[in-house]
Amino acid sequence: MTPLSENSPAVEVVDLRRSYGDYEAVRGISFSLARGELLALLGTNGAGKTTTLEVLEGYHPPTSGSVRVFGLDPFTAGARVRRRTGTMLQEGGFFKELTVRETVDCWRTFTSGARPTAEVLARVALEPKAGTRVGQLSGGERRRLDLALAVLNDPELLFLDEPTTGLDPEARRTTWRLVEELRAAGTAVVLTTHYLEEAQQLADRVAIMDRGLIAAAGTVGEVLSGRGDLITLPLPPGRPLAALPELTGAAPSLADGRAVYRVPRSAPALAALHAWAAAQGIELDGLEVRSSSLEDVFLDLAAHHRDHTAEHADRAVDSDRGHTEHTDRTGRAARAVPEGASR
């Protein structure tokens, strides 16, 4: 048996591939995670995030490539690895017959170094529901119970698969606070999320997955660097897009009825825009300026993806924004085929 190496990184993935039958869900990705670091895996449904996470959690062996958690193979050394990790599945089941407190109490009997039940429930703000049967919980409360059990052993490494999906904003913030507390105490975290805000808020590093590959990776700053700022404005009355000027060399494009400029620096571009508007006698109502966000990177990838698959009419939708909403609504069913085909 490989000895536990105290110096090995929390996670090390080299050229991981994972297929289900003919479908290759993950097509060769590499990354590593230092102790105490937080990596967010982003991507549309079906991009391979959950598959990657389930290989790390030891549910499946890689089809090829290698995966190490604390220097160990999570598939063959499962129990040893899991003593030090916590897992929150995208969807995990509990016994409906038991109350929240009983569930945690039972879990404590087979968890090394388990925290006291009351403390764990307080951490996820579930104490008011301690006496409620799990079958009576809302979806968001069940997610928090799952999180409570994932952090029961004060893990050194935590896997969170869409931890805040279905949570109301307050519960989401509770979850974020808990993740930040754990990180402050040295826990490394790999999480997947659809909420770019969540990644931007929590992650040291992000990896954006697209069709089984990592399309962009690095710190949030690195992924966003060179993407500049966005200036958007509603089309002035009677002016088509073609009538708008170039700003510091950038031509406008149209999105959701608004003209969008992507410029390296906003100040000179805004000066040019104001000068043009003054000369034309136009009011710039509804002008917005912001720096690029992960969402823009994400939407660009989605648009890129759509261009490449335009012949598959089922995916084509009107706008970038419409596209993400489309996959959010239907992606679960679509994704269940490849990712759920696991054994």
Partner 1 sequence: MSWFRYAKGQFGLSWKVFWRNRRSTFIGFLLPVLLNLVIAAPLRNQEIGGVNAAGYVAVGLLGLALVTSFVNLLGSVVARREELVLKRLRGTECPPSAVFAGQLGVGAVVVLIQALVLGGVAVGWFGAPLPADPGLLLLTLLGGYLLFSVLAVALSGLTPSAETAPLVATPVLVLCMFGAGVFTPVSALPGWLHGPSSALPLSPVVRGLRTAWFGREFGAESWVGGPLPELDLLHGWASAAPSLLLVAAWLAAAAALSRRFLRWEPRRG
Binding site for partner 1 (CB under 8 A): 57, 59, 79, 82-83, 87, 89, 91-98, 102, 106-107, 109-112, 146, 153, 336-338, 340-343
Report the residue number, 285 or 314, with the smaller CB distance to partner 1: 314
Amino acid making up residue 160 = L
Residue 20 CB, nearest distance to partner 1 (Å)? 8
Classify residue 122 as left (phi > 0), alpha (psi -120 to 50) or beta.
alpha
Residue 141 CB, nearest distance to partner 1 (Å)? 16
Are 197 and 40 contacting, i.e. CB atoms less than 8 angstroms apart? no
Residue 316 CB, nearest distance to partner 1 (Å)? 23
Which residue blocks in the chain are alpha helix, DSSP H? 49-56, 78-82, 100-109, 117-123, 139-150, 169-184, 196-202, 220-224, 266-280, 294-308, 320-340
Report the residue number, 19 or 342, with the smaller CB distance to partner 1: 342
Report the residue number, 114 or 121, with the smaller CB distance to partner 1: 114
Q: Is 29 helix (H, G, I), strand (E, B) or coil?
A: strand
Report the residue number, 228 or 338, with the smaller CB distance to partner 1: 338
Residue 106 CB, nearest distance to partner 1 (Å)? 4
Tokens 């790999």 correspond to what residue? 190
Report the residue number, 252 or 338, with the smaller CB distance to partner 1: 338
Expressed in angstroms, the distance from the first to the final Cα of the chain is: 26
| Cα dihedral 7, 10, 15, 18 sign | positive
Residue 252 CB, nearest distance to partner 1 (Å)? 44
Residue 21 CB, nearest distance to partner 1 (Å)? 9
Q: Is 208 helix (H, G, I), strand (E, B) or coil?
A: strand
CA angle 313, 315, 319 (to 5 degrees): 105
Report the residue number, 50 or 324, with the smaller CB distance to partner 1: 50
Are 69 and 55 contacting, i.e. CB atoms less than 8 angstroms apart? no
Report the residue number, 62 or 74, with the smaller CB distance to partner 1: 74
Residue 82 CB, nearest distance to partner 1 (Å)? 4
Amino acid making up residue 328 = D
